[in-house]
Amino acid sequence: MKSQTVIPLIKAGTPAAAKAIHKLSARLAALERIDHSAFKARTKKAFGKEMLPDEVVSTILSEVRRNGDKALISFAQRLDGVTLTPKTLRVSDAERQRAYKRTDPGVRKALELSARRISDYQQRLMPSDIPAEATKGSAPGVKTGMVWDPLQRAGLYVPAGTAPLFSTVLMIAVPAQVAGVKDLAVATPCGKDGVVNDGILCACEILGLKEVYKLGGAQAIGALAYGTNTIRPVDKIAGPGNLFVMLAKRAVFGHVDIDMLAGPSEVLIIADSSANPAYVAADLLAQAEHDVLASCVLLTDSASLAADVAEELQKQLEVLPRKEIAAVALRDWGMILITRDQDQSVALANALAPEHLEVMTRNPQSLTRKLKTAGAIFVGAHATEPLGDYIAGPSHALPTGGTARAFSGVSVYTFLRRTSIIECDAAGLAELAESIEILAAAEGLAGHERAVKVRRN
């Protein structure tokens, strides 16, 4: 079949389907073990030996932690061919302002609209404090509640590889600002000339982000987590990135908090015979053009739609400017799976836990609450994934690699911490003291027991 050269077309229940589903289910582990010859040659040139991605990340983080700015400058030269100094690591006010002025007014206007929509959505999510109140039933003198506070300082990572994502500045910074974080540091790669993409700096200028560093990859994550002479450490790091950024965030978790694991992008589409093949193919390609590691999956109970989408992919791919990237993603991480029925499609989607999940069926709203593990759900034929990428309102910074089973996308909650409040008067403690003392004694913690008894006596 002609379409087989573009994307695997498989029927559920076959050995090929089982193998493809297993590969996607273990996507994060598979990405860690990536072993392309070109990558191995690059690591040998940069580090003196062939290394796997997690080994590269571990080496970089250790160097940054030990040598700070010196390591950052060294890696910028060795890995990216960029010459920096401690003074030029940070983007100057003049650089930001020039970038803003150079940016097309139409792009500025679109960024401002996007920022307003993101802010409006995030304000709707802001939680309220829970006043301290007595629990119903007993001990009215003991009151409990909870308060929310913004983080003091957060680090934001903005990708800028083959496609600088200035929209990401808005998607991670606006939720932090709505949450009330006052101190934000942005890290983003620069070109070999030491210049950061105009669109990224324009977005920073629109939001009033003045602390921007010319740093990418694992070294940027290390700098934000550990701090250097130039960069103060943060409390939390948020933002998507490539495989190395994702692995670095995982490695520094615990030293600082992270938003989630967000690496190579993913889309999974559930569609039936009512779906427009051109729409489905266009949305698969919109994800495939991101990265050769992007995952693009269609689950459908319609064999005719599957064939039509495969054919449409072939046609649309030919005119896609980034077709070389998209073709590799479709071949290596793409799949059209013909399922038994819609229930099987839903079950597989929940098992794969994709970053983006689109539903193009006759009654898409009926499936929304059955889908439990996606980063974001796009409902209906016109809810194309790029709507969420740019301007719908919810953040496009979402968990990948199956981690949507446990992680959620960036929002105000990412930048808030909650603190429980406990109040107690003498009568309240007296009413609960016996039970506290029994439990403390049973655990062998005499000091705990005594702390209660001294108040009772």
CATH number of 2-31+264-395: 3.40.50.1980
Q: Find the catalytic residue in 95, 356, 358, 396.
A: 356
312 catalytic residue (yes or no): no
- 0.75 exceeded by pTM: yes
Residues lower than pLDDT 50 in the chain: 1-4
Homologous superfamily, domain 93-259: Nitrogenase molybdenum iron protein domain (3.40.50.1980)
How many residues does this entry show for the chain?
A: 457
Q: What is the pLDDT of residue 36?
A: 61
pLDDT at 161: 74
Catalytic residue among 355, 358, 385, 449: 355
Instruction: Write down the pLDDT at residue 37.
Output: 65
Q: Got the DSSP string for 172-186?
A: HHHHHHHHT--EEEE
Alpha carbon dihedral 9, 14, 18, 20, in 10-degree steps, equals: -20
pLDDT of residue 2: 41
The predicted structure's pLDDT at residue 446: 97
pLDDT confidence of residue 1: 36
- Which alpha helices (DSSP H) does 154-233 contain, by range? 166-179, 198-207, 217-226
* CATH 3.40.50.1980 domain range(s) in the chain: 2-31+264-395, 93-259
3-state DSSP assignment of residue 300: strand
Strand order across the 130-134 sheet: 130-134, 142-150, 416-424
- State in Å, rounded, how far the first CA of the chain is from the last one: 86
Closest alpha carbon to 413 in 394, 433, 438: 394
**pLDDT value at residue 3:** 39
Report pLDDT for 242. 85
The predicted pLDDT at position 34 comes to 65
Q: Is 448 one of the annotated active-site residues of the chain?
A: no
Closest CA to 334 of 37, 27, 38: 27
